Amino acid sequence: MKKINNYFLVAALIATSFVFGCKDKDKDEATPASNGSATISGIIKFDFNTANDTVAGGTTFPTAGPATYEALPTGIVLTATINTADLVLNPDPNVNYPNKEYRTTVDATTGAYSFTIDANENPVNVNIKTGQFRHDKTVASGTNFRSSTTTNVIYAEQTVANTTVVNGDVKIIDAQF
């Protein structure tokens, strides 16, 4: 009887090793994509001075006509954020994929910026934002808006764009605030 119990014990151990030791080959595993890149660039400007906004004929007036936009001050950084799940061909829904951030400094003379973002053949969602920053704001005031007032204000974080890219994309996204 003891010999039969030993055979059952050995058979049970072997069966257990097959059940818990083998991978399910039919189950999809998260497969990293063959990553490439995409480029997003553009010009970003703010209307820091409403006293220089003009209407047709050159009359200065802050509430009508096109605004005159100025480049951002030196050192302003834009951040582009993606979720790394977008870089996986078949992401595992049980995995919490981290975000990845890309940073670039805006050219203070022209307002130009450029990012090179990881991308693949699947769409990668990209969110581009400014950070919070402090800058002078000049507002037209007085009779016929002939004078102006300048104050130093804090500009809140602004969303420049929400877009998608795939490998090889070159996108130009300009923004004015």
Mean pLDDT across the stretch 126-137?
94
Strands 147-155 and 70-71: unpaired
Mean pLDDT across the stretch 139-166?
86
Mean pLDDT across the stretch 155-170?
95
The DSSP 8-state label assigned to residue 156 in this structure reads: P
Confidence of residue 140 (pLDDT cuts 50, 70, 90): confident
CA distances from 110 to 38, 94, 138, 143 (A): 22, 45, 20, 33
Instruction: Write 149-158 long-range contacts (CB < 8 A, 24+).
Output: 155/46, 155/130, 156/132, 157/129, 157/130, 157/131, 157/132, 158/129, 158/130
pLDDT at position 106, please? Answer: 94
Q: Domain 36-176's class?
A: mainly beta
In this predicted structure, the answer to whether residue 98 has a pLDDT above a threshold of 50 is yes
Domain boundaries in the chain? 36-176
pLDDT at position 26, please? Answer: 43
**pLDDT tens track for 43-93:** 999 989 888 776 555 555 545 557 788 888 888 999 999 999 999 989 999
CA distances from 83 to 18, 58, 97, 153 (A): 37, 47, 7, 32
Residue 6 in tokens: 């030993």
pTM check: above 0.75: no
Mean pLDDT across the stretch 17-39?
62
